Amino acid sequence: MLERNRAALPSSLDTLAPTRRLQRLRRTAPLRDLVAETGFTRSQLVQPLFIVEDPADARDIAGLPGNARLTPESALARLDADLESGVRQFLLFPVPARKHARDFEPAFICETIALLRRRATREDATFWLDTCLCSYTADGHCCLHDARGEQDLPATLDALAGLALDYAAAGADGIAPSDMNDGRVAALRLALDAAGHDLVPIMSYSAKFASQLYGPFRGAANSAPKHGDRRRYQIDVRARRDALASSQRCADEGADLLMVKPGMSSLDLIQPIADATGLAVGAYQVSGEYAALALLAREGFADFDAALLESWHALRRGGAAFIITYGARLGRALGLAAR
């Protein structure tokens, strides 16, 4: 019986196997939409805002089209426009007029937070504060140094906690430590809790690599290191285990949200970090990544909007729960739903 059925079949089994035509489901937009696995909304995009203390520093940011350095007053107008575009999450970067070795002066950013807070309630907008020292320190480093030039970790953690408390007291919704110093999440959590800010979440830059891709940002934040580089505290690009351990430790110390950075070159880490910690992990599409797309488009090699959307979907496919991007305010124009 078996023999006879076989005989009726073509001699070569190869001809029986039809070509696997994967293109059938790529043929039309409705079919492509049917099988799409990633999607996200404007609610999951975070828009960075740079706030300068000195009005003379307020100007467009080289490399980041559509982004400018804002004064407290122009930040209000920007907020109105961004809310209108459906942005709900903001990440604020303070750019002080004067640098110091210690004893920083965050009054201008606290006033800005209060100003924005009066304009938008916690239900209207979430204001995260990038919490680091490099835009405040004279040497442009994310930590403090002692007289011998060694890192002064206790003083660094004190300074970070001091800033976080000022930001929270001014009305910040969340604290986002980007410094990569050991123990900072625990130090911030303890300080916030002790001051009654126990419901202020920490979004930790938990897997942040030393990178060439922060160039436009350092121009915007005036935070390039005056000597050396950041490789003593940011993660080496080759060190996957370090990135996982750094993220796990942030989770253990009480971080509420984690993040990889630069996002597009950390796609391999997002889902593993989420699986290991059980926390939502975001991706920061950093200034150099955003600028690279803008430069491609400027040279006529890509369509900017389509390239941006493509990169966001790739981050999402990699497991990103949210995306920090200089193009968040373009979300509506790109057709993303509100939520």
Give catalytic residue positions. Answer: 208, 261
* Pairing status of strand 89-95 against strand 126-131: parallel
Closer CB to ligand PBG, 78 or 230, in the complex? 230
Closer CB to ligand PBG, 126 or 131, in the complex? 131
Per CB under 5 A, the segment of 141-149, 156-164, 245-253, 272-280 that binds Zn ion is 141-149
Q: Where are the beta strands (DSSP E) in the chain?
A: 45-52, 69-70, 89-95, 126-131, 174-177, 207-208, 258-261, 281-284, 323-324
The reply to whether 249 sits near ligand PBG by the rule CB under 6 A is no
Tokens 């909304």 sit at which residue? 41
Indicate which single residue of 132, 163, 269, 308 sits in contact with ligand PBG (rule: CB under 6 A): 132
The reply to whether 131 sits near ligand PBG by the rule CB under 6 A is no
Closer CB to Zn ion, 46 or 144, in the complex? 144
Per partner kind, with CB cut-offs from 5 to 8 A, the member of Zn ion, ligand PBG, none near residue 117 is none
| Size of the residue set binding Zn ion (CB under 5 A) | 3
Per CB under 5 A, the segment of 63-71, 142-150, 184-192, 267-275 that binds Zn ion is 142-150
Query: Do 136 and 96 form a contact (C-beta atoms < 8 A)?
Result: yes
> x/- binding map, residues 208-227, to ligand PBG, per CB under 6 A?
------x--xx---------
Indicate which single residue of 49, 68, 132, 283 sits in contact with Zn ion (rule: CB under 5 A): 132
6 sits in which H/E element: helix 2-8
Q: Which amino acid is at 285?
A: Q
Output the CA torsion 26→30→34→38 (10° steps).
80
Indicate which single residue of 70, 79, 142, 264 sits in contact with Zn ion (rule: CB under 5 A): 142
> Can you read off the two tokens belonging to residue 307?
């390239």
> Can you read off the two tokens belonging to residue 305?
């909007």
Closer CB to ligand PBG, 82 or 179, in the complex? 179
Closer CB to ligand PBG, 15 or 212, in the complex? 212
Q: What residues between 12 and 51 interact with ligand PBG by CB under 6 A?
A: none
Q: What residues between 265 and 294 interact with ligand PBG by CB under 6 A?
A: 286-287
Among residues 251, 250, 311, 254, the alpha carbon closest in space to that of 286 is found at 311
* Smallest distance from ligand PBG to CB 161, Å: 16
* Smallest distance from ligand PBG to CB 25, Å: 36
Query: Do 41 and 316 form a contact (C-beta atoms < 8 A)?
Result: no
Q: Cβ of 288: how many Cβ atoms within 10 Å?
A: 21
* Pairing status of strand 207-208 against strand 174-177: unpaired
* Smallest distance from ligand PBG to CB 211, Å: 8
Per CB under 5 A, the segment of 18-26, 134-142, 162-170, 196-204 that binds Zn ion is 134-142
> Can you read off the two tokens belonging to residue 299?
């040279």
DSSP secondary structure string for all residues of 216-278:
HHHHHHT---SSS-STTTSBPTT-HHHHHHHHHHHHHTT-SBEEEESSGGGHHHHHHHHHHH-
Indicate which single residue of 52, 134, 160, 220 sits in contact with Zn ion (rule: CB under 5 A): 134
Nearest position to ligand PBG, beta carbon: 217
